[in-house]
Amino acid sequence: MTFVKVLSFQGERYTVAMRQDGDADFSVYGEGVRVLRKGATAEVEIIAIDALFEIEISALSYGDYELVVVKK
């Protein structure tokens, strides 16, 4: 597994998306965040004054994937 941590502040919004060819998936979690998952995309809203949310990526060694994090 691979982990990505994102430092963020109240009111910020992010879109996390994964394009994949093979067996790969991701989870988003953290304190002070609201996550709405829709298939291979997650919308993240920061509701605390500051937050360090984490993206956990699980993929088999032969899986190709691209993880895109966009701040709105």
pLDDT tens, residue order, the chain (72 aa): 889 999 999 999 999 999 988 788 999 999 999 999 998 999 999 999 999 999 999 988 777 889 999 999
Structural domain boundaries enclosing 64: 2-71
Q: Which pLDDT score is estimated for 21? A: 82
CB count, 10 Å around CB of 11? Answer: 9
Count how many domains the chain has.
1
| pTM of the predicted structure, to 2 decimals | 0.89
* Burial class of residue 48 (count of CB atoms within 10 Å of its CB; 0-12, 13-18, 19+): middle
